[in-house]
Chain A
């Protein structure tokens, strides 16, 4: 099995002039800084070289400069539409290398917040895609729904985007007492909005024609490109880290993994749409099952002591000082932990040299690999379809460029 060099599916007339156009890096319709070096035959894309890296902030380099805990704020800024999933993924990777397991309640809290973030992530992707295709109403409705979810995130973490809520060994604090009611209200509203958007988009002739049959990627190519998440599932390949490699308590919930059939833009859209419903199901089950108990482990080598201890006795003060100054002593070695991010498998590969600082933190960014496939997905489509195709990759600059 060898990969054949990709063939250009477009017939180029020898008398036609190929026009080279650079689209981006700052283009009103590409949310995110990215540049497409296009070769056009009339309105048809013959070839496209995708340039990323405009938002490179040296995440992996800076992660080596602080303690293990100091990496957490950086992870918020990877996929800034669903920062809680990044938090959870990183914390799980370090916990895996430490060999600790968080209390049951903490795992449930992480699941609930991950799923709320996933809904927000998908809503952003779909809302923007609708808006760029001319469906302003659906775009605004979905942003309104996202707003309600971010209100929940704010109530729990105190911030909307830069949450830094997870810690190695637990989470900073428990849910506020009225969260259950807030989620019920928000989800009622969200369901109504999703119904509206369903009517506005999924069976809308204009929207359907814009999306269906555009940028088809075969299942074989999707696997070869290392695509995961909605991009892979749209081709009919069922792979979801939550289902196939369960982490946290995902194996306790009843949910489905929606897959597409054709691998075109419409399937990518609809798979995400259905995934929102599944995430709602998971959150509702988790809130019902939510057990009591602590939200972090008590090992003083990993988790900071209560402030009461720090201010009242010398042991607490020393414990706090040592953890802040020297960091968590993660054993020498390496671990890879994958979680299902909004765009697919979000992996953290961490290497420790046994000191209190990371030796190497590597993120496997799902949309980076999606962008790698974009050049091929664009061959043969029209200029107007570039925006919808790019929208369905859901590139998040912070995650792609790190």
Chain B
């Protein structure tokens, strides 16, 4: 991203081979879209490849593309400390089976990031050791960052009381 002028995409595509479905670059960020069943594989290759060496899983999140054929996008941002390069990986996950391989076998940090993505978007991470909600509470129904979750819906654990019904009057 930005620093080194030469794009890294051709080399990444060569190394990942047929796992890559699509790739693009915008605003200095390079992105590869990989197939869902090669998700774990692709990350492992990128991390362990001596030349690329993407040793940091900087971020993992999802994007809800409501209305598109394959609804969810799982997005990771990788960083290689040796070459100071960044790379974005994406995979599409359908609504009827929102599941993808967990990256926990490669990075310990994936644990919490995937729990958050599950909590917020309802994307399941297969073989995740501890897939619980993290920001919301256990009793919460639904996944709040989905586009079809109303932003003003309330699910209080303790019923809310209307002060006016309780006899409060503005002074």
Can you name the residue of chain B whose Cβ is closest to the Cβ of A97?
Answer: B27
CB pair A225 B108 closer than 8 Å: yes
Complex formed: what's the CA distance from A360 to B145 in Å?
A: 9
Is A336's beta carbon under 8 Å from chain B?
yes
Can you name the residue of chain B whose Cβ is closest to the Cβ of A53?
Answer: B135
CB pair B111 A351 closer than 8 Å: no
Is B104's beta carbon under 8 Å from chain A?
yes
Is B17's beta carbon under 8 Å from chain A?
no
Is B48's beta carbon under 8 Å from chain A?
yes
Contact with B along A231-269 (1 / 0, CB 8 A): 000000101000011000000000000000000000000
CB pair B58 A347 closer than 8 Å: yes
With A53-B135, A245-B2, A369-B112 known as contacts, the answer to whether A3 contacts B105 (CB < 8 A) is yes
A52 is contacted by which of B31, B75, B134 (Cβ under 8 Å)? B134
CB pair B106 A402 closer than 8 Å: no
Contact with B along A1-42 (1 / 0, CB 8 A): 111001000000000000000000000000000000000000
CB pair A96 B105 closer than 8 Å: no
Is A333's beta carbon under 8 Å from chain B?
yes
CB pair A53 B134 closer than 8 Å: yes
Residues of chain A lying within 8 A (CB to CB) of residue B2? 245
| Interface residues contributed by chain B, number (CB under 8 Å) | 44
Residues of chain A lying within 8 A (CB to CB) of residue B27? 96-97, 99, 333, 335
Residues of chain B lying within 8 A (CB to CB) of residue A347? 58-59, 77
Interface residue ranges of A345-400 to B (CB < 8 Å) = 345, 347, 349, 351, 359-360, 362, 364, 368-369, 371-373, 376
Is A61's beta carbon under 8 Å from chain B?
yes
CB pair A61 B151 closer than 8 Å: yes
Is A191's beta carbon under 8 Å from chain B?
no
B109 is contacted by which of A6, A224, A351 (Cβ under 8 Å)? A224
CB pair A369 B109 closer than 8 Å: yes
Q: Is the interface of A mostly helix, strand, loop or mixed?
A: mixed
CB pair B144 A349 closer than 8 Å: no
Complex formed: what's the CA distance from A228 to B2 in Å?
A: 20
Interface residue ranges of B57-99 to A (CB < 8 Å) = 57-59, 61, 63-64, 75, 77, 81, 84, 86, 88
Is A221's beta carbon under 8 Å from chain B?
yes
Contact with B along A45-76 (1 / 0, CB 8 A): 00000001100101011101100000000000
Is B41's beta carbon under 8 Å from chain A?
no
Residues of chain A lying within 8 A (CB to CB) of residue B104? 3
Can you name the residue of chain A whose Cβ is closest to the Cβ of B75?
Answer: A349
Would you give the shortest CB distance from B76 to chain A, in whole angstroms? 10
Is B5's beta carbon under 8 Å from chain A?
no
Known: A53-B136, A239-B81, A336-B29. 9 other contacts (CB 8 A): A3-B107, A60-B145, A61-B151, A226-B109, A334-B88, A345-B58, A369-B112, A372-B113, A373-B109
Q: Which residues of B contact A (CB under 8 A)?
A: 1-3, 26-29, 31, 47-48, 55-59, 61, 63-64, 75, 77, 81, 84, 86, 88, 104-109, 111-113, 116, 120, 133-137, 144-145, 149, 151
Q: Which residues of A contact B (CB under 8 A)?
A: 1-3, 6, 52-53, 56, 58, 60-62, 64-65, 96-97, 99, 221, 223-228, 237, 239, 244-245, 333-336, 338, 345, 347, 349, 351, 359-360, 362, 364, 368-369, 371-373, 376, 401-402
